[in-house]
Chains A and B, each alone.
Chain A
């Protein structure tokens, strides 16, 4: 495949995303969820949560500022980016558009690769918009609490950049999940179930058994390595290792999906 054919395929996938309304519905969700996260993070920073839990970093510290902006943008955006990725693949089977897609591009692995590139790009876009929402809403709450917005805080901007990358990688992860599980409803339910329930429980159980080295490689914790450098709560990977771990999850799932699912008959 020459370069211009590859560019055409990616543009075709981008046009698929832009020509239905799902992308902005999910983007609105990401913005609202990010705004709530940023407002809560800014309002609760440094306060005693009660119940013997450790207090989060005080609002004046760089760690708290990074959590309000970079942390909130990731927390608010990644699930929506993942759902965009999952539906980007499973929607083709749900609406049978996989037939014209494979007619135009009979080499099916090329379709998956083009989808990964397009969704990584759109996911990064989601991350950028989420960052804007976090800066606006989180910054306002910080001001209201009588603090400096802290836009010059230590390592804030690298942290924000990595949060944007992390959101993009979750869209890529969504393509991997959707390639493996072609049923749209099942894929979204399994992904949300694993992310919100299985992974936190696994984190708790593994950490309690002194398996922190494993815990750090779970997807959400690998993401935290990108968004929360130097966090006092958990000992994460270096940021690049976390990013590579996310990329690895996406690639392994997509490769498994291509092996098990994508070559099947389209009837």
Chain B
């Protein structure tokens, strides 16, 4: 396959997306957008509506109202859907009696791809040695790799992956992280859902957080992590330092102080002004998982 103009990522737009299954409201006026060139995490607890959102985007579920489009077009109106959007939904959508290679051949024939492309993606996801075995004997990690191979088959500019790290071992997760970052660096749109923030924390640049079918926050990961944190200070003289930092919330630790709602710059400046000895200044790692739980309203 030629790396064509279709490999340039399109933005994903979700506008006022609402989906009710009978009396159950799965999505409620959900609006967000995903831009090309970065990895975007699509986060929320189980049952938040992530999978329903992705299925609406891919034309598998009809929304009650609102729309979800790729480059301004509905999935079902795409001329070459697999060459535009590559999707890996839950890793169970394979016939257990069919080999990975045959599954991909079925897809490639339907999309009009050359059969060489199947061999390429099988190698790319590291399934080469197992590609002719029946999927029924695969581990969850191998199924995830097959799902990813399916998504990559059409060399698409947009990738939509539902919980792709689920079932991968640590080496597999590291490999996936590199792959997704490389795909985004090529200018593609990469949307990765997860119910565990820590799983994608090192992979994503931006996050879309939803809970109970509504948008909670869309932001960069950096600004989600930022905000006033806490500073740990190692000092032989915690008493005088605490006085110097009088207006801040200070608590004693084993070898110094913990100062909330400030930065290392401010603490260092104040210590210098008051001539207090400081041995070490550290910004406390913000607990993203806690932020995530606070945002989504889950009891911690």
Bound pair: A and B?
yes
Tell me if B93 is interfacial: C-beta within 8 Å of chain A: yes
Within 8 A of B (CB), among A87-107: 91, 95-97, 99-107
Q: A177 CB to closest chain B CB, in angstroms?
A: 20
Q: Is B14 an interface residue (CB 8 A)?
A: no
* Interface size counted on chain B using CB atoms at 8 A: 32
| CB of B92 closer than 8 Å to a CB of A | yes
Q: Which residues of A contact B176 (CB under 8 A)?
A: none
Contacts of B75 in A (CB 8 A): 106
Residues on B with C-beta less than 8 A from A8 are 109-112
The smallest beta-carbon distance between A182 and chain B, in angstroms, is: 15
Contact B110 A12 (CB under 8 A): yes
In chain B, residues 81-107, which have Cβ atoms closer than 8 Å to a Cβ of chain A?
81-82, 87, 89, 92-99, 102-103, 105-107
Question: Which residue of B55, B75, B106 has the most chain A CB atoms within 10 A of its CB atom?
Answer: B106
Closest to A96 in B: B93
Q: Is residue A9 within 8 Å, beta carbon to beta carbon, of the partner chain? A: yes
- Please report the total number of A residues contacting B with Cβ < 8 Å: 29
Of B60, B76, B102, B150, which contacts A19 at CB under 8 A?
A: B102
Q: Which residues of A contact B89 (CB under 8 A)?
A: 99
Residue of A nearest to B62 (CB): A265
Let me know if B93 and A102 touch, CB within 8 A.
Answer: no
Contacts of B97 in A (CB 8 A): 20-22
Given contacts A5-B112, A100-B107, contact A106 B59 (CB under 8 A): yes
Query: For residue A19, which residue of chain B has the nearest CB?
Result: B102
CB distance from B58 to the nearest CB of A (A): 6
Is B61 at the interface (CB under 8 A from chain A)? Answer: yes
- Chain B residue contacts of A4, Cβ below 8 A: 112
Most chain A CB within a 10 A radius of its CB, from B62, B87, B93, B96: B93
Cα A101 to Cα B106 in complex, Å, equals 9
Q: Is the CB–CB distance between A9 and B95 below 8 Å?
A: no
Residues of chain B with a CB closer than 8 A to A267's CB: 52, 55, 60-61
Cβ-defined partner of A102 (8 Å) among B60, B95, B98? B60
Name the one of B61, B78, B112, B150 contacting A100, with C-beta atoms under 8 angstroms: B150
Q: Can you list 11 A-B contacts (CB < 8 A)?
A: A9-B109, A19-B95, A19-B106, A21-B97, A95-B93, A100-B107, A102-B60, A103-B60, A104-B107, A105-B110, A267-B55
Residues in A lying within 8 Å of B, measured CB to CB? 4-5, 8-9, 11-12, 15-16, 19-22, 91, 95-97, 99-107, 263, 265-267
B-side interface residues toward A, CB under 8 Å? Answer: 52, 55, 58-62, 75-76, 78, 81-82, 87, 89, 92-99, 102-103, 105-107, 109-112, 150
Closest 5 CB pairs of A and B: A19-B102, A12-B109, A106-B76, A12-B110, A104-B110
Sample of 11 further A-B pairs with CB below 8 A, known A15-B102, A97-B95, A106-B81: A8-B112, A15-B105, A19-B98, A96-B93, A97-B94, A99-B60, A102-B59, A103-B82, A104-B81, A265-B55, A267-B61
